[in-house]
């Protein structure tokens, strides 16, 4: 039965999902349409960063940042925050410390362009400099959001330091000050953790989701000149999820994930269209859409839901108590939702990784296929899952990249240590997987 479901699902997918899209651009957080998938080239299962086997290049990147690389037309773009402290506090791993880092001094925020083929830095631009307006968590940085590009513009969201737009040659086109964006622990507001949601570009608009301690909003700016187009207040506590836009037929929705509600908006006006309540707090995973099913998860215990929502809803679609599905919710799970890593749907299966445990579901029905603990896993994971060429890549904070063969049965193809901690999400382009470690950007490829 699952084989028939898989066939019908694949037949309904747009060509880009079937691997027939010639573009190898990875233009935003999690790539095209936030799916985390890139096809069209052979991808590596194994590499050795210490010996250099399978490593196309390795480039030192200054500063401290968790933002992920993006790619357009053979150019990689990324952001960083450069501190005067040669050894800034940065603590990975699983722990319960909610405190902020106490630090001072002037920082420099920069946008970089790196050549995909060679790893050479083409240009580096200072966006702004000064003292950070808010504090950060021990494993956070002052450059967490991933930039976005349409191939002509590069938009970098630097939280409280502002929103910046460059052309692909590094010329500043415009900037916007969004004020102080205080995102942190909602139960202890003195614990500032820094802003983390990435901008997206849609139909000539730059859209930012800003869920903070006070005065949350979602807002659109005109990409051409930075002028504000619309602004919608949100009754929300801090979240770090990035929004997604999906079009089906004559309808387009802007979809957001947050604590008090999962919401759908009209991206042209910012008008709310639908909402679903019943989510975790401290929301991080990004929504994405496959075959008109919206996949949304969150996992701050004890609430750990996974939802598969049918596209096109209107009004309040919150599930009645005791129900796991409805007219608008194809299926849901009350447990196993990931705290940090965004899942991936690949070849009809939903891969969910949390604390080193991989759970796989039939993406259409929600039936659990298998559940497996990754070997020697530290249990600390932030990077979103990505996939391609029949492989699923799961990255731990320790820098171990687990490569799992896509399919109904668990098969670990390899565990590849990076040699550095990594909290950024990999990007895939032209057969290369881009991994941003603590100090370097790596490009690995099949031998």
> What local confidence, expressed as pLDDT, does residue 86 receive?
86
C-alpha distance from residue 287 to each of 85, 97, 98, 214, 296 (Å): 36, 27, 26, 23, 5
> What local confidence, expressed as pLDDT, does residue 378 receive?
67
Residue 11 token pair: 């037949």
Please list the pLDDT of the chain residue by residue as tens digits (447 residues): 454 444 334 333 433 343 335 799 999 999 999 999 999 999 999 999 989 999 999 999 999 999 999 999 999 999 999 998 889 999 999 888 999 998 888 999 999 999 999 999 999 999 999 999 999 999 999 999 999 999 999 999 999 999 999 999 999 999 999 999 999 999 999 999 999 999 999 999 999 999 999 999 999 999 999 999 999 999 999 999 999 999 999 999 999 999 999 999 999 999 999 999 999 999 999 999 999 999 999 999 999 999 999 999 999 999 999 999 999 999 999 999 999 999 999 999 999 999 999 999 999 999 999 999 998 766 799 999 999 999 999 999 999 999 999 999 999 999 999 999 999 999 999 999 999 999 999 999 998
> What local confidence, expressed as pLDDT, does residue 19 receive?
38
Q: Look at the alpha carbons of 187, 191, 193, 199 in this order and tell me if their dihedral is positive or negative.
A: positive
> What local confidence, expressed as pLDDT, does residue 105 receive?
86
Q: What dotted CATH number matches 2-445?
A: 2.130.10.10
- Strand ranges across the sheet with 391-395: 386-388, 391-395, 400-405, 412-417
Question: Which helix (H) or strand (E) segment is 126 a member of?
Answer: strand 121-130
**pTM for the full predicted model:** 0.94
> What local confidence, expressed as pLDDT, does residue 14 receive?
39
d(CA 232, CA 23): 33
Domain ranges, ordered by start, for the chain: 2-445
d(CA 422, CA 61): 13
Q: Running DSSP on this structure, what letter comes out for residue 138?
A: T
Q: What is the four-CA torsion angle of 375, 380, 382, 386, rounded to 10 degrees?
A: 0
């Amino acid at each position: 039965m699952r084989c028939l479901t898989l066939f019908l699902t694949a037949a309904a997918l747009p060509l880009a999902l079937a691997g027939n899209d010639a573009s190898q651009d990875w233009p935003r957080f999690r790539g095209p349409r936030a799916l985390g998938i890139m096809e069209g080239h052979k991808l590596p299962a194994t590499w050795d960063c210490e010996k250099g086997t399978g490593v196309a290049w390795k480039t030192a990147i200054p500063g401290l940042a968790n933002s992920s690389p993006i790619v357009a037309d053979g150019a990689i773009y990324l952001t960083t925050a450069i501190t005067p402290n040669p050894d800034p506090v940065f603590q990975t791993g699983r722990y319960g410390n909610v405190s902020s880092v106490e630090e001072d001094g002037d920082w420099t925020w920069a946008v970089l362009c790196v050549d995909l083929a060679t790893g050479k830095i083409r240009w580096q631009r200072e966006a702004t400099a000064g003292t950070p307006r808010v504090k950060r968590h021990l494993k956070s940085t002052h450059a967490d959001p991933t930039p976005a590009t349409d191939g002509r513009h590069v938009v970098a969201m630097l939280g409280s330091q502002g929103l910046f737009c460059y052309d692909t040659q590094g010329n500043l086109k415009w900037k916007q000050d969004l004020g102080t964006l205080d995102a942190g622990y909602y139960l202890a507001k003195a614990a500032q953790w820094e802003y983390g949601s990435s901008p997206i570009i849609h139909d000539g608009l730059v859209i930012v989701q800003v869920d903070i301690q006070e005065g949350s909003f979602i807002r659109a700016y005109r990409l051409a000149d930075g002028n504000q187009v619309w602004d919608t207040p949100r009754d929300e506590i801090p979240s770090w999820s990035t929004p997604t836009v999906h079009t089906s037929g004559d309808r387009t929705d802007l979809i957001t994930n947050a604590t008090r509600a999962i919401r759908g908006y009209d991206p042209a006006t910012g008008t709310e269209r639908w909402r679903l309540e019943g989510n975790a707090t401290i929301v991080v995973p990004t929504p994405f859409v496959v075959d008109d099913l919206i996949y949304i998860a969150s996992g701050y215990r004890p609430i750990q839901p996974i939802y598969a929502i049918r596209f096109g809803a209107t009004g309040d679609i919150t599930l009645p108590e005791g129900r796991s599905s409805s007219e608008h919710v194809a299926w849901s799970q009350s447990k196993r939702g990931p705290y940090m890593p965004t899942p991936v749907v690949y070849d009809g299966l939903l891969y969910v990784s949390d604390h080193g445990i991989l759970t796989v579901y039939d993406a259409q029905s929600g039936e659990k296929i298998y559940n497996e603990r990754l070997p020697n896993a530290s249990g600390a994971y932030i990077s979103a899952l990505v996939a391609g060429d029949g492989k699923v890549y799961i990255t731990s904070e320790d820098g171990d990249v687990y490569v799992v063969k896509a399919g109904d049965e668990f098969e670990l193809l390899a565990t590849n240590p990076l040699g550095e901690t990594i909290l950024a999400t990999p990007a895939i382009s032209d057969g290369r997987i881009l991994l941003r470690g603590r100090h370097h950007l790596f490009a690995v490829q099949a031998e």
